[in-house]
Amino acid sequence: MSLSKPAERKDLADLANLPSPQGRPGKRLPMRRLPVQRAWPTKWIVATQIGVFVLLVGLWQIGADHKWINAFFWSKPSAIAESLRTFFLSGTALTDIRYTFTETLSGFVLGTVAGASLGLSFWWSRNYAAVMQPYIICFESLPKLALAPLIILVFGMGLASKIALATALTLVVSTLTAYAGVRAVDTDNERLFYSLGASRWQVFCKLVIPSCLPWMISILRVNIGLALTGAVVGEFIASQFGLGRTIFYAGQTYDIALVWDAVLVLCVLSVAMYIGVSYLEKWLRKGVVR
């Protein structure tokens, strides 16, 4: 039988006044509540983030000017800013950004679509899935970056090799995620569909794909980072354009300021693509809910 609210309060008060183990009357314990953390307004958070960045850059500049850090190896913000201006005015920056962006986006789309399709195909045959699973796991455990020289030799130094490497890094992750979604499909719902006269293709389109879609959506943010990694590593090995090629060239010539310029542009590009994928994920999730 449930107690009323006044009775509950009385029981809590009696519990707070229980005697101590030595028999002395216990002290009245204050009623404790869950701590409530007040969320900062967005403008405060942004201002704090900017302040932290400005503080770090300022300390870096002061340390380099006073020779607390070696400016030859770490450069300094003033030199990086001047090099960044030259990097963009020379016209090579936009070419490198476009090249890396094209590789990343192409590898992301191809790897995600091909991997999801391969993972979904395992639903059609358990034997087919059992045969292919060891090869998929073996390819997943293999460091794909070790295949980069071979991919460069097969596809050449152009755009195709970087797209192939970016695709390789995203393909297996998408496959395993889609396959996990396939195995999580409710068999009772499958029986219900078949009992209502649905064909195998209708079950696949109306039940399996919608059930696996949240699994495939959840891997998008990971895949965009993997695709960018594959594109940049491919540019490290052999490329005529791209931010990875710029970083590698600047490192070979000890132009540390240019290295930081390319890294900074690469960070901005990766954040922009991550935000774009986040909006795509939200849009797809709304479609799934509807």
Block means of pLDDT (10 residues each) for the chain, 290 residues, are: 47 49 55 72 88 92 89 87 88 88 92 92 88 84 79 84 89 89 87 86 88 86 88 85 88 88 90 88 71
- 129 CA to centre of own chain: 27
What per-residue confidence (pLDDT) applies to 3?
Answer: 45
Q: What is the pTM of this model?
A: 0.77
Specify the amino acid at residue 19.
P
Closest CA to 107 of 157, 153, 169, 158: 169
| Domains of the chain, residue spans | 42-74, 83-289
Q: Residue 19 has what DSSP assignment? A: P
Closest CA to 144 of 40, 231, 62, 77: 231
Return d(Cα 14, Cα 92) in angstroms, integer: 77
Closest CA to 166 of 248, 210, 102, 212: 102
What per-residue confidence (pLDDT) applies to 19?
Answer: 52
- Kindly report the CATH number that applies to the domain delimited by 83-289: 1.10.3720.10
What per-residue confidence (pLDDT) applies to 278?
Answer: 85
- 120 CA to centre of own chain: 22
CB proximity list for 78: less than 8 A, separation 6 or greater: 61
What per-residue confidence (pLDDT) applies to 108?
Answer: 93
**Burial call 47-68: b when 16+ CB within 10 Å, e when fewer:** eeeeeeeeeeeeebbeebeeee
CB proximity list for 19: less than 8 A, separation 6 or greater: 25, 26
Angle between helices 92-121 and 77-89 (to 10 degrees): 90
